[in-house]
Amino acid sequence: MLFKNFLNELAEFNLTDLDIREIGIWPSWLKKILLIMLALVIPITGYFLKVKDIHQHQSIYAQKETILLGGYQRRAVKASELNNYRQQMIELRQIFGTLIEQFPKDGEVPGLLEDITDIADDSGLIIKSIALQPERVNKFYIEIPINIDVTGNYHDFGSFVSGVAALPRLVTLHDYSITQTNGNSLNLVVEAKSYGYKIQSMQ
């Protein structure tokens, strides 16, 4: 019966008769439809106006959060290894200090020449010349070349090289040549290099 009445009212209803100013006397079924439409339209409009923007911002913030979390995790790993790094730095400084101690100071170069001369004498070599050459400056250190020209035999040369290697100061041998001389002797020409360390060169 109610549904039949509703159909009759709907058949007699004319949209042109509606006046928004007379909404209070509109049929009750029309008011209900209007309320349902408003209940649907308001949330949908709110979603497109506000909620959609909120979701977009949330997505952006979620990406930023992921990036920041990754950075935090990397820093946390580094922080956990900090004590190991500090220990390694201490060990490196000790090694570096040991190497620096092997570099001759400016005033010790003449003494180094004397040491090389003594080793050559003790090895049974005949010294033709042992001459200090001009320094060669590199980025972090300087080379102190020493030209050595001696005569002897292979056994003497081996003893000489071993003696130079055993010096407390860092000395390396380079560009050697051995030639036959008159008789049974051999001539050895070699460049020895010592190294100097200057603090200003490390800055």
Lowest mean pLDDT among 47-51, 85-89, 167-171, 178-182: 47-51
CA angle 177, 175, 108 (to 5 degrees): 115
What is the band of 203 on the pLDDT scale with cuts at 50, 70, 90? very low
Lowest mean pLDDT among 67-71, 133-137, 156-160, 170-174: 67-71
Sequence spans of domains, the chain: 1-80, 104-202
In 3D space, the residue among 81, 76, 148, 79 whose CA is nearest the CA of residue 112 turns out to be 148
User: What fold does the segment set 104-202 form as a domain?
Assistant: Alpha-Beta Plaits (3.30.70)
What is the band of 4 on the pLDDT scale with cuts at 50, 70, 90? low
Q: Would you say how long the chain is, in residues? A: 203
